[in-house]
A and B are shown apart, each in its own frame.
Chain A
Amino acid sequence: MGKDDLIGGALWEFYSKKVSERMDNPRNRGEITEAQAAGLGGKLVVADHGAEACGDAVRLYWVVDAGTNIIKAAKFKSFGCGTAIASSDMMAELCTGRTVDEASKITNLEVEKALRDTPDAPAVPPQKMHCSVMAYDVIKKAVALYKGVDLASLETETIVCECGRVSLGTVKETIRLNDLKTVEDITHYTKAGGFCKSCVAPGGHEKRRHYLVDILRETRAEMAKERMRAGAGSDDFATMTSVRKMKAVEKVLDEAVRGMLAADGGDVELVDLKDTPEGVEIYISYHGACRGCPSAGAGTLAAIEGVLKQKLSHPIKVVPV
């Protein structure tokens, strides 16, 4: 939010001249019949996408040369707003002359770029990017029809933000790498959610399979779990919980200290430990011969502290109590 968002109704004034012109006079509007396709020496492909009930529908006609797989002619018909009509018109134009495989790589972003008046000024305002997505989806349908394959086989990744073509993988990875905490952060880093906002949260422009709020929550929960697991499984004394620190200290005392003390008839008990800004303070109490031994506060103490520091690779201070 901010200054640019406070006055509403700013849609059409941000259309590029090209969008406006193609809405007024679409060049590739129309149908192609079987006979016309045969006349052009190609195979007719007719693909439909969208529905009137959803506010947007487009039909794409291709004539494809069966030998070269080159699209020799493309036309469209569209039920939709100005952006939908203009982007369908540009999409049909971009298909013409390309092979079917090349055409399958056309995205709504390419269509939008082609509709710009200058390279840096978007052709349509962000809320309207959504209406150009249709132009991408219908190409995929035409490709599937032409090749006789299932549409799903052409989908290589799960898209979260269709307007900006941002995948689920990209969103998750960006959250992880940059430790993102808000949906605004995600939009800032990936552009996802910056257009029609449908993918931000349920209840928007249209229903989605994935929402940024859910992805963020789930990814952050995963990250937290992983951190916990990392702490639990790691041998890094610094990240251990207090219980595991106690166990680790006990282990060192057993393996490297108690034997040494027992030789002189003494023993040591681990009483407590706590994290301090400098490291960890370990509280012990002496038993047997150690109790009252002058060395218990000097040489022996230094030896115990040295062993623990070395074995646990951490700043440690041992305090007899």
Chain B
Amino acid sequence: MFYNDAKMTRIYLDNNATTIVDPLVRQAMEPFFCEQYGNPNSLHQFGTEVHPALRTSMNRLYAGINASDKDDVIVNGCATEGNNTVLKGVWFDQIRGGTKDHIVTTSVEHPCVGNTARFLQTLGAKVTFLPVNHDGRVEADAVRDAITPRTALVSVMWANNETGILFPVREIAEVCRDAGVLFHTDAVQAIGKVKVDVAEVPVDFLTFSAHKFHGPKGAGGLFVRRGLRLPPLLHGGEQMGNKRAGTVNVANFVGMGLAMELAVSNLPYEDKEVRRLRDRLEDGLLSLKDTMVVGRRELRAPNTVFLSVRGVEGEALLWDLNKAGIAASTGSACASESLEASPIISAIGAGPELSHTGIRLSLSRFTTQDEVDETVRVFRKAVERLRAISSAY
């Protein structure tokens, strides 16, 4: 250990990848493993005794995104499942039959949207991948221009996982509504970071994952506005009103409901305190020479900073941070599938030489100021060390 720290610190700044389960959430899930383990679709008391907790959880999910009781919030396995359900469902319902053939999305979606769209291309769908502009965003005008009479669906993320940049989903949703085109948003990075209100933003489909907001892994939600048809991805039993088959994961369902309630009730804290810590971290890192942050602060979720450090390869920096117990992330690991420059780094006008220097730090409401300050200290040492080795600095 070259840092010679007296005690090993462990600081988690990779909350856009996954988060710690809130201890309150775990506590709420606990009874549903060995005590109330019944299948909620059974008629006996083992089945029915879990219903109150499921109803409470459902109420919390609906309240969390301000859905109407006439809408569906289908509880499923994860946002990947929800996004697959939306894209493939629209394909089955509209594109397969030939009425429409076109999907509009962005070049910076999570792979569970991007790769699903690419799969649908092999089945004959036409897909437009809109590039991001110099702000790292896709504007509503670009969506309007991409829509044709044959467009079945627009899918644009609410907040970008890599940069935290918020997309103008409200304007895009209105453009889609005016054009009579279905609109889906992957809100996986938005819940618990910014207000997500489906009464205010006229989305047709919205997806999220519990583990991004201190809930358990393996639980997600799919909002479907009332009256819309969407064939299920998983066929089988009659769970979730025949819209998502598979035995209900009761503990996860309960955990996600509480996690949603806590995420929403903590939004003011997120907006004020997490933002303050993120800004403190960002200012500390930017005090290093030749560093650059992607995306204007006011356009970003309050917890994310995506930083380019000239002359330092991202994975090498991760290595040094990890040695000091700090977890961060990089968009373009040197062993990742593709060496193509990060579309966001090139879109904001940074040179290609910076495309492998990106590192993402993402905070949560569990992050402390001491952790932020320690991270800046370690980061500084790591950058100094790696720049001394670097042939590019």
B391 x A205 contact (CB < 8 A): no
B319 x A52 contact (CB < 8 A): no
How far, in angstroms, from A289 to B245 measured CA to CA in the complex?
Answer: 85
Which of B204-212, B230-238, B336-344 forms contacts with chain A?
A: B336-344
A55 x B313 contact (CB < 8 A): yes
With contacts A48-B391, A206-B339 taken as known, whether A81 is within 8 angstroms of B334 at the C-beta atoms is yes
A55 x B356 contact (CB < 8 A): yes
Name the one of B334, B337, B338 contacting A56, with C-beta atoms under 8 angstroms: B334
CB distance from B327 to the nearest CB of A (A): 12
CB distance from B117 to the nearest CB of A (A): 16
With contacts A52-B392, A53-B355, A85-B389 taken as known, whether A205 is within 8 angstroms of B319 at the C-beta atoms is no
Within 8 A of B (CB), among A45-89: 48, 51-59, 76-85
CB distance from A172 to the nearest CB of B (A): 27
Does B33 count as interface, using CB distance less than 8 angstroms? Answer: no
CB distance from A82 to the nearest CB of B (A): 5
Within 8 A of B (CB), among A78-113: 78-85
With contacts A53-B341, A57-B391, A59-B391 taken as known, whether A24 is within 8 angstroms of B313 at the C-beta atoms is no
Does A131 count as interface, using CB distance less than 8 angstroms? Answer: yes
A78 x B332 contact (CB < 8 A): no
- For B315, what are the chain A residues with a Cβ–Cβ distance below 8 Å? 81-82
Majority secondary structure, A binding face = mixed
Closest to B330 in A: A81
Name the one of A51, A131, A204 contacting B338, with C-beta atoms under 8 angstroms: A204
Name the one of B322, B334, B336, B393 contacting A84, with C-beta atoms under 8 angstroms: B334
How far, in angstroms, from A153 to B273 measured CA to CA in the complex?
Answer: 62
A204 x B391 contact (CB < 8 A): no
B337 x A205 contact (CB < 8 A): yes
- For B283, what are the chain A residues with a Cβ–Cβ distance below 8 Å? none
CB distance from B239 to the nearest CB of A (A): 27
- Encoded as 1 (CB less than 8 Å from any A CB) or 0, chain B from 342 to 371 comes to 000000000111111100000000000000
Closest to A125 in B: B335
Does A29 count as interface, using CB distance less than 8 angstroms? Answer: yes
Does B192 count as interface, using CB distance less than 8 angstroms? Answer: no
Contact residues on B (Cβ < 8 Å of other chain), bracket: 20 to 34
Contact residues on A (Cβ < 8 Å of other chain), bracket: 35 or more
CB distance from B55 to the nearest CB of A (A): 36
A12 x B319 contact (CB < 8 A): yes
CB distance from A303 to the nearest CB of B (A): 65
A78 x B391 contact (CB < 8 A): yes
Does A11 count as interface, using CB distance less than 8 angstroms? Answer: yes
Closest to A76 in B: B391
CB distance from B51 to the nearest CB of A (A): 36
Name the one of A48, A76, A80, A203 contacting B334, with C-beta atoms under 8 angstroms: A80
B316 x A82 contact (CB < 8 A): yes
A77 x B391 contact (CB < 8 A): yes
- Encoded as 1 (CB less than 8 Å from any B CB) or 0, chain A from 7 to 18 comes to 000011000000
Closest to A206 in B: B339
Does A23 count as interface, using CB distance less than 8 angstroms? Answer: yes
A79 x B2 contact (CB < 8 A): no
Name the one of B319, B332, B389 contacting A55, with C-beta atoms under 8 angstroms: B332
- For B82, what are the chain A residues with a Cβ–Cβ distance below 8 Å? none
How far, in angstroms, from A128 to B316 measured CA to CA in the complex?
Answer: 13
How far, in angstroms, from A261 to B311 measured CA to CA in the complex?
Answer: 93
B316 x A55 contact (CB < 8 A): no
A131 x B339 contact (CB < 8 A): no
How far, in angstroms, from A79 to B334 measured CA to CA in the complex?
Answer: 11
CB distance from B240 to the nearest CB of A (A): 28
Closest to A138 in B: B391
- For A85, what are the chain B residues with a Cβ–Cβ distance below 8 Å? 316, 389
Does B323 count as interface, using CB distance less than 8 angstroms? Answer: yes
Within 8 A of A (CB), among B284-313: 311-313
CB distance from A254 to the nearest CB of B (A): 58
How far, in angstroms, from A56 to B316 measured CA to CA in the complex?
Answer: 11
Closest to B357 in A: A52
How far, in angstroms, from A57 to B352 measured CA to CA in the complex?
Answer: 13
- For B337, what are the chain A residues with a Cβ–Cβ distance below 8 Å? 204-205
- For B390, what are the chain A residues with a Cβ–Cβ distance below 8 Å? 77-79
Does A25 count as interface, using CB distance less than 8 angstroms? Answer: yes
How far, in angstroms, from A48 to B341 measured CA to CA in the complex?
Answer: 21
B2 x A52 contact (CB < 8 A): no
How far, in angstroms, from A51 to B356 measured CA to CA in the complex?
Answer: 10
Does B123 count as interface, using CB distance less than 8 angstroms? Answer: no
A25 x B2 contact (CB < 8 A): yes
CB distance from A260 to the nearest CB of B (A): 67
Most chain A CB within a 10 A radius of its CB, from B315, B338, B352: B315
How far, in angstroms, from A127 to B168 measured CA to CA in the complex?
Answer: 38
Does A141 count as interface, using CB distance less than 8 angstroms? Answer: no
A54 x B339 contact (CB < 8 A): yes
A55 x B2 contact (CB < 8 A): no
Does A130 count as interface, using CB distance less than 8 angstroms? Answer: yes
With contacts A59-B391, A84-B334 taken as known, whether A52 is within 8 angstroms of B356 at the C-beta atoms is yes
Does B201 count as interface, using CB distance less than 8 angstroms? Answer: no
- Encoded as 1 (CB less than 8 Å from any A CB) or 0, chain B from 263 to 282 comes to 00000000000000000000
CB distance from A91 to the nearest CB of B (A): 13
Name the one of B2, B316, B336, B341 contacting A80, with C-beta atoms under 8 angstroms: B316
How far, in angstroms, from A204 to B354 measured CA to CA in the complex?
Answer: 21
How far, in angstroms, from A127 to B336 measured CA to CA in the complex?
Answer: 9
How far, in angstroms, from A127 to B322 measured CA to CA in the complex?
Answer: 20
Most chain A CB within a 10 A radius of its CB, from B323, B338, B351, B391: B391
Closest to A77 in B: B391
CB distance from A18 to the nearest CB of B (A): 15
CB distance from A124 to the nearest CB of B (A): 9
- A residues near B (Cβ < 8 Å) are 11-12, 23-26, 29, 48, 51-59, 76-85, 127-128, 130-131, 196, 203-206
Known pairs A54-B339, A77-B391, A196-B335 / 8 extra A-B pairs, C-beta < 8 Å: A26-B389, A53-B341, A54-B356, A55-B355, A55-B356, A57-B391, A79-B390, A84-B316
- B residues near A (Cβ < 8 Å) are 2, 311-313, 315-316, 319, 322-323, 332-339, 341, 351-357, 388-393
Q: Give me 26 A-to-B residue pairs in the complex whose CB atoms sit less than 8 angstroms apart, sorted by A's number.
A: A12-B322, A24-B323, A51-B353, A52-B313, A52-B392, A53-B341, A53-B351, A53-B352, A53-B353, A53-B355, A57-B391, A59-B391, A77-B389, A77-B391, A78-B390, A79-B391, A80-B334, A81-B333, A84-B313, A84-B334, A131-B334, A131-B335, A196-B335, A205-B336, A205-B337, A205-B338
